[in-house]
Each structure stands twice: as C-alpha cells, then as structure tokens.
Amino acid sequence: MNTQLTLGIETSCDETSVALVEDGRRVVSNVIHSQVDLHKDFGGVVPELAARDHLERLPQLLDLAFEKAGAGPEDVGLIAVTRGPGLAGCLLVGVGVAEGLSASWSRPLTGVNHLWGHIYAAMLTRPDLEPPLLGLVVSGAHSDLVRMPEHGRFEVIGRTRDDAAGEAFDKAARMLGLGYPGGPALDRLARTGDPRRQPLPKPSLPGLEFSFSGLKTALLYRLRDLGDAVTPQDKADLAAAFERSVVESLMEKLDEALSRTSVSDVVVAGGVAANTLLRRRTIEVVAGRARLTMPTLELCTDNAAMIAAAGFFGPARQTATVDPSLGWD
Ligand code: KG4
Ligand code: ZN
C-alpha cells in the first residue's frame, strides 16, 4: 500500500479505539474496544480502571487496525490523537502512546479536539460533505449547537445549562434500574412503551439553550409517587416519555437554529445521535430545509476514525498537550 494514511487514536473515556483513515474521508480500519464489562458492576466509568485498560489494550488494537487495513507503519503520514475533552488519565495514555509512535516512526503528531471529531464523523459517512454547516453534537458530556464556517473552526450558538442529553439518558436509565450504559438500554425499553401514558414535561428555555435537570427531577418524583406499585409497563412508558421530552427539546432548538442560520448542510452527531427516536425526528425536522448527515451508528459513539478525520482536516500539527476540559476552541 503506498497511500498516506492517518492513524487515529481515541482513549478519552470508556472506548479504546485505533483507526486508519485515507485522505481524511475513507475509513480503512476502525477497531473499537468498549469497556462496558469493566465498568458495569460499578454503575459508571471508573477513571483509574479505564486508563489502565486503555494502556493494556492499545498495543493489540494497533496491531489489529494495521492487520485489517493490510498496511504498516510505513503507510502512515500523520498520527492524530484525542487531547481533550475527556478523563485526564485516559487522555494521557492515548497521547503518551501517540507521542512514542511519532518519535519512533518519525511521523508528525497532531492533538485532536474530541468534539470536532464527532462532527468529522459525518464526513466519513458522506465523503462530499464540506463546511459551512450547522451541527448538533449530543454526547455523554455535551449538548451543543455549533456553526462550522470552515474546516477547523467552530462557533457555539447553543449549549446545555446543566446536564448533557447523554448524561440525562444515563441518569434516567439508572433510576429505571437499567444500569450502565444507560442510553442504549433506555432506547430499547422506550420502544416498548407509550409516552402518552406517563407524560413528562418538555424542558423549554428561551433561545438556543438546553436544560435537562428539571426533567430528571420530574422522573424521580414520578417514580417516587408510583413507589412499589410501579410495573414493567410503567417503566417502559416512562422511558418513552423521558426519551420524547429530551428529543423534542433538542428538536425545538435545532428547528430554531435552522431558522436563524442559512446553511445547506446539517450534521447531528455524538453518542446520543444513535438514539432511534432522535434519528427519526431529526429527519422530519430537517426535511426540505437542508441536507442532513448523521454518522452511521458505529461512528456516532466514540471511535478513532473520527479523530483521524478531524486531525487530517484540522489546523496542521496542533499541540498534543492534554486538556481534559477543552471546549470547542
Ligand atoms: O459520544 P459518546 O460515545 O461519548 C462521549 O463523548 O460522551 O456518547 C456517549 C453517550 C452516553 O451518554 C450514552 O448513554 C449515549 O451517548 N447513547 C445513547 C444511545 N447510544 C449512546 N443515548 C440514547 N440512545 C442511544 N441509542
Ligand atoms: Zn464522544
């Protein structure tokens, strides 16, 4: 193989991932190891365990990514690694390994903003997608509306005041006894419920801000009122109602952002963009107003292919200094 590939490395939270991407647009290999089994007994991510596991898994995932691609280190033109936001110890593992590879292979290294990565995942799904675009990134820690005027530049136009959408799903799932990881489990349960039987309020703030903590409290009180009398069907109905309130709140702001901005492309990305109802409603809201790109399910949740893509298109040789609380800049 004689093309120049970008090697992506992602270790910001509970997925260890290594990918090889061609021209920032074509996924050649993308291997992902989820730490769900490691953390599930604790009901959430244990940072020290996560960091140690990233370190143990990376060598074999690197081998696997190259094997699947039929490529070797000589084919790599750039190494892109997540530098933030995320868990400090986890980010340090990825950056440390990337720095080591960069030094031993004499290849340039670029530090990538994980949030940018979620948007760039859409360009792997639709290779002709270019900025300017309007993005909604909904993940475990973020619910942000952004404008992307050009490659490597983002302007936040809306965000959450409190919990992120994914965080809200995870907490609601815990209240419903679904354990970790909550979002996908709540999605599955909601499919068997009717949101009209246990309606919950739809959060509504002026402008483009989100808020999900009141909705979480409403669910808590409803479960408290039901007490021991709560049935499996009640839980399914509540899951459906909670999902509907979160999704409709996101849709209301996406709709407003679309009215305020004239863009021809919309991207909805991040782990929560894997949600069944959100995908369906997004298609309806954007229809006839812009072209919509949602990454494939595998590229919605954390993965290294999106990091490679963002590293390829972002400003050259960005610092790889770890910054756990990095914003969109
Ligand atoms: O983007 P991501 O993989 O990691 C972060 O950058 O945070 O997003 C993870 C979040 C978690 O909160 C998870 O519960 C949520 O995405 N999530 C979902 C679904 N799949 C993942 N939430 C609702 N429905 C889903 N199908
Ligand atoms: Zn993420």
Atom of ligand 1 nearest to the CA of 167: 12
The burial of 205, by beta-carbon neighbours within 10 Å (0-12 exposed, 13-18 middle, 19 or more buried), is given as middle
The mean pLDDT of 52-76, rounded to a whole number, is 98
Q: Give the number of whichever ligand sits closest to the CA of residue 278.
A: 1
| Close Cβ partners of 132 (under 8 Å, ≥ 6 residues apart) | 147, 148, 149, 150, 263, 265
Residue in 251, 127, 238, 120 with CA at minimum distance from that of residue 177: 238
Q: What is the pLDDT of residues 90-124, one digit of tens each?
A: 999 999 999 999 999 999 999 999 999 999 999 99
Atom of ligand 1 nearest to the CA of 141: 7
With a Cβ cut-off of 6 Å, ligand 1 is lined by 13, 139-141, 166, 169-170, 181-184, 187, 270-272, 274-275, 301-302
Q: Give the number of whichever ligand sits closest to the CA of residue 274.
A: 1
Query: Which pLDDT score is estimated for 316?
Result: 83
Indicate which residue's Cα is closest to atom 21 of ligand 1. 271
CA–CA separation, 298 and 76 (whole Å):
23
How many Å lie between the centroid of ligand 2 and the Cα of residue 301? Answer: 6
Domains, the chain = 5-128+298-313 (3.30.420.40), 133-295 (3.30.420.40)
Q: Give the number of whichever ligand sits closest to the CA of residue 191.
A: 1
Q: What is the pLDDT of residues 142-195, one digit of tens each?
A: 999 999 999 999 999 999 999 999 999 999 999 999 988 899 999 999 999 999
> 22: which 2 tokens?
């061609």
Please report which confidence band the pLDDT of residue 2 belongs to, taking 50, 70 and 90 as the band edges: very low
Indicate which residue's Cα is closest to atom 23 of ligand 1. 183
How many Å lie between the centroid of ligand 1 and the Cα of residue 167? Answer: 8
Indicate which residue's Cα is closest to atom 13 of ligand 1. 183
CA–CA separation, 48 and 209 (whole Å):
33
In this model, does residue 291 exceed pLDDT 50? yes
